[in-house]
């Protein structure tokens, strides 16, 4: 029974990782929406960088949102 629960937990974890949001590709968007797509892609890249920093610093899940918000604000403040 424990093996079934363990396998189910791994399957759910893998499914969650596979559902992460893909980066927006501005070249695959209609021309009138390209500027917005480029902004969204830049935002996604910043979010991924901050998430990677949080992973490397082993930020606890309960503190992750605060850490990510602080990181994004700090990156936005950079020229």
Residues 6+ apart with CB under 8 A from 38: 26
pLDDT over 50 at 18, yes or no:
no
DSSP assignment of 24-55: P-GGGS-GGGHHHHHHHHHHHHHHHHHHHHHH
In the chain, the number of structural domains is: 1
Closest C-alpha to 47, from 14, 79, 71 = 71
The pLDDT value given to residue 4: 53
More confident residue, 62 or 20: 62
Q: What is the pLDDT of residues 33-48, one digit of tens each?
A: 999 999 999 999 999 9
Across the range 23-41, mean pLDDT stands at 92
Q: Is it the case that residue 56 has pLDDT exceeding 70?
A: yes
Instruction: Answer yes or no: are the C-beta atoms of 36 and 11 closer than 8 Å.
Output: no
Range of the domain at 10: 2-77
pTM exceeding 0.85: no
Structure tokens at 62: 């309960």
């Amino acid at each position: 029974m424990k093996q079934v629960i363990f396998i189910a937990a791994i399957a759910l974890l893998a499914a969650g990782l596979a559902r992460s949001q893909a980066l927006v590709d501005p070249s695959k968007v209609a021309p009138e929406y390209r500027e917005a797509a480029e902004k969204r892609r830049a935002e996604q890249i910043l979010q991924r960088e901050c998430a990677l920093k949080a992973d490397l610093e082993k930020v606890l899940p309960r503190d992750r949102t605060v850490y990510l918000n602080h990181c994004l604000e700090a990156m936005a403040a950079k020229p």
